[in-house]
Amino acid sequence: MPSHALAHRFRPSFALALALAVALSLAALLTGPTADATESRCAAGSFCVWPEPGFGGETRELTLRATGIEQCVALETGWEAKSFANSTGHPVTVYQDPHCDEEADFDTHPTGSQTPQAEYVARAIKVWTH
């Protein structure tokens, strides 16, 4: 069999390529917002929290001016975060305890990180210098 005939047999059809492109586009639309879309909702210099997983509900922003560096800052009374994004430019520790008690759950998140579903309800944060 000539090599050009073999190459012709294995060339994908235009219809198959088009169907694949459409399927990938639909999959991207159905998976929801990307990290870039979420980050654009959290202004630079802020730590943003949402009351629902998946960045759902009303966004609350804690700015560096309002939080202070290396100080425990409780979220507003009665307000709990189930998803959050760090756009502060600094690492931020998120605490389950409203007084930053390390007996409860806590994790440190680097700047630029996004947590669409926290493993625990966040009630306080601490912004670090580095």
pLDDT reported for residue 4: 53
Question: What is residue 18's predicted lDDT score, i.e. its pLDDT?
Answer: 39
Determine the pLDDT at residue 10.
45
3-state secondary structure (DSSP) of residue 113: coil
Domain that holds residue 122: 35-127
Global pTM exceeds 0.85: no
Averaged in consecutive runs of 10 residues, what is the pLDDT profile of the chain (130 residues)? 50 46 42 44 92 92 83 84 94 96 96 95 92
- 3-state secondary structure at position 92: strand
| SS3 category, 87 | strand
Residue 87 in domain: yes
> Is 17 domain-assigned?
no
pLDDT at 33: 47
| CATH assignment of the domain containing 44 | 2.60.20.10
Task: Tell me, yes or no, whether 99 lies in a domain.
Answer: yes
How many domains, the chain? Answer: 1
Q: Is residue 24 part of a domain?
A: no
Residue 1's pLDDT is what? 54
The token duo for 28 is: 């991207």
pLDDT in the model for residue 20: 40
The reply to whether 82 falls in a domain is yes
Please report whether residue 14 resides in a domain: no
**In-domain check, residue 92:** yes
pLDDT reported for residue 109 = 96
